[in-house]
Amino acid sequence: PAAAEPRHASPAAPRRLREKLRTAARMAGPPAHTAPGSRQQVQGGERRDEPVTGAPPARETRAPFRFDYERFRRSLRHPVRGRRAGEDPETRARRMKIKEMMKFAWDNYKQYALGKNELRPLTKNGHIGNMFGGLRGATVVDALDTLYIMELEEEFQEAKKWVEKSFDLNVNGEASLFEVNIRYIGGLLAAYYLTGEEVFKSKALELGEKLLPAFNTPTGIPRGVINLGRQETRSLFSPCSGMSWSWGWASAGSSILAEFGTLHLEFLHLSELSGNPVFAEKASTSQLGLQVLNRVEKPQGLYPNFLSPVTGNWVQHHVSIGGLGDSFYEYLIKSWLMSDKKDSEAKKMYDDALEAIEKHLVKKSAGGLTYIAEWRGGILDHKMGHLACFSGGMIALGAEHTGEERKQHYLDLAAEITHTCHESYARSDTKLGPEAFRFDAGTEAMATRLSERYYILRPEVVESYMYMWRLTHDPKYRQWGWEVVKALEKHCRVEAGFSGIRDVYTTTPAHDNMQQSFFLAETLKYLYLLFCEDDVLSLDDWVFNTEAHPLPVNHTNSKA
């Protein structure tokens, strides 16, 4: 399987969109968006209702703006790394083991692939890929906050030095708006908020400006692919700069729900740090919700995965909480939490969506396992992707903020879904879960197709363990997490890093030769936090973006 492309899938796409992307890439051969003529060649400037550059660059719009970092730090309710008081020795030892795994993954990336996007641990070289438009160092930016939280000080300084000296934003190539946002923008923002180092903020703002032309569509819904060429040099002689288009494999030139719905956490912070409202205006939930998504009819209250950025209408009725849909729902509840529970529009959209999901998609197998099916024009597909396993954690997080009766209902639902995802791990020979698992033909929580048997170091299951632990303190979630640690060590650790495996149902699996950047950003971070006290990156202060980069809750209206 092509674990060649970062965690999403091949061309690029939403966090969990990666799933479909990878699937599309495997079926189609080369990534769809690289073939001339295979994509919908629509420039942001050809059918625009506004200037092609979207908005003036942040640094030119107003008098110099200075974000008050010290005031922000005073507004936090807990120390970033917690107090670490009174923990038991076993918990600490397990956390230290995960820290050792992170150091091993980083040291091998640094030795064999520094500056490339990801490490190929079997061949001991680097992988660049084609999702990031010429940007390099995806693993560096993805790893920054994990290194910091784990107190790997020397390694963090190595990563920071690379960003300062070698991270070049003057590139000209096709990039996934979604992937650049969640990995690079998210990683840089988190590193800045954790450390106050100006280089991270300035790089995030500069890169953010390069993404704005993607929003130049009749509806304001961005296209999925952006050329990162310098917009100020656009001319007849550089026709690509600032152009955007839709994925060639996306239905009828549509934008993808989990892509355009997974921008606003990061873009709100770009406005917060720059003083320029354009970022927030482009990506806010109120813009998406009130102007487009609330206007278009939703089948059974569900959100299909493909929407036309030209007409604002659905292109086909495929609904998934896994790839293509996933992080849209995640960012609704997290927008509300990040706003300190003031973004009521996002909360209502989340509540309504979850109600429709529970009514139409949540099913129970003959063996008693609760799962979330996919919906294709009214017909259910009884499968769950690994990517959809984030939903246990999301539902638990949202449950904390409902009435007492509904709270217990949603916590129970979250626990049931997380249990099902654990079963997908427990029923494999490696104790790692497949890319997708099904509930049909007498099979439950297992992959039935060869193309779904692989594991590429994905984080979604341990992500839900972390949230379930923090919200219930049921010790089984730590035990389940430790089972994953042991399985990773046994089956994925190789001489020079960690690699995905091609078949979770054999005890001697072949490796895919890819140490995904999200393994350092997410999988190891969530495992580490599972064995931390609750005040380490406290959920009172931080919301994790869909790449596990912590962004602060807006406490600025509180006394700082």
Give the 3-state DSSP-derived string for 228-279, with helices as H, strands as E and coil as C: CCCHHHCCCCCCCCCCEEECCCCHHHCEEHHHHCCCHHHHHHHHHHHCCCHH
Q: Which residues are annotated as catalytic?
A: 179, 326, 435, 460
Q: Which residues contact 428 (CB under 8 A, 6 or more apart)?
A: 434, 446, 504, 505
CA-to-CA separations, 300 to 114, 316, 359, 360, 433, in angstroms, rounded: 48, 14, 9, 8, 31
Concatenate the DSSP letters of all residues of 193-221 into one string.
Answer: HHH--HHHHHHHHHHHHHHGGGG-SSSSP
pLDDT, residue 555, reads 87
Give 42-92 pLDDT, tens digit per residue.
323 333 333 344 445 555 555 688 999 999 999 999 999 998 777 899 999
155 CB-contact burial (10 Å; exposed 0-12 / middle 13-18 / buried 19+) = buried
The annotation status of 91 as a binding-site residue, yes or no, is no
Do the domain assignments include residue 260? yes
pLDDT, residue 244, reads 74
Task: Calculate the CA 232 to chain-centre distance.
Answer: 30
Contact 41, 350 (CB under 8 A): no
Confidence class for position 253, pLDDT limits 50, 70, 90: confident
Which contacts (CB < 8 Å, 24+ apart) does range 355-363 have?
Answer: 355/301, 356/298, 356/300, 356/301, 356/302, 357/302, 357/321, 357/329, 358/413, 359/300, 359/301, 360/300, 360/301, 360/302, 361/302, 361/319, 361/321, 362/413, 363/439
Do the domain assignments include residue 317? yes
Q: Residue 211: is its pLDDT beyond 80?
A: yes
Residues of the chain above pLDDT 90, percent: 76
Q: Residue 155: is its pLDDT beyond 80?
A: yes
Most confident residue range from 24-28, 61-65, 310-314, 392-396: 392-396
Query: How many CA within 13 A on the CB side of residue 399?
Result: 23
Q: What is the SS3 assignment for 498?
A: strand
Do the domain assignments include residue 4? no
Round to whole Å and give the CA distance between 543 and 27: 35
Give 335-379 pLDDT, tens digit per residue.
999 999 999 999 999 999 999 999 999 999 999 999 999 999 889
CA-to-CA separations, 27 to 22, 133, 204, 235, 425, in angstroms, rounded: 9, 23, 35, 37, 26
Residue 409 tokens read as 């209902």
Contact 518, 142 (CB under 8 A): yes
Mean pLDDT of the chain: 87
| CATH code for the domain of 535 | 1.50.10.10
pLDDT, residue 535, reads 96
Round to whole Å and give the CA distance between 298 and 384: 22
Contact 227, 172 (CB under 8 A): yes
Range of the domain at 349: 77-552
Contact 250, 224 (CB under 8 A): yes
Do the domain assignments include residue 19? no
pTM of the model: 0.88
Looking at 137-151, 252-266, 442-456, which range is the least confident one? 252-266
pLDDT, residue 286, reads 53
Residues of the chain above pLDDT 70, percent: 84
Do the domain assignments include residue 393? yes
Do the domain assignments include residue 182? yes
Do the domain assignments include residue 62? no
Round to whole Å and give the CA distance between 35 and 215: 23
Q: Structural domain tally of the chain?
A: 1
Contact 495, 120 (CB under 8 A): no
Contact 396, 468 (CB under 8 A): yes
Q: What angle do CA 465, 467, 471 make, to 5 degrees?
A: 115
Give 473-518 pLDDT, tens digit per residue.
999 999 999 999 999 999 999 999 999 999 999 999 999 999 999 9
Bridge-partner residues for 532, per DSSP? none
Do the domain assignments include residue 50? no
Confidence class for position 231, pLDDT limits 50, 70, 90: low
Which one, of 443, 440, 434, 306, lies nearest residue 376 by Cα? 306
Q: Rg of the Cα trace of the chain?
A: 22
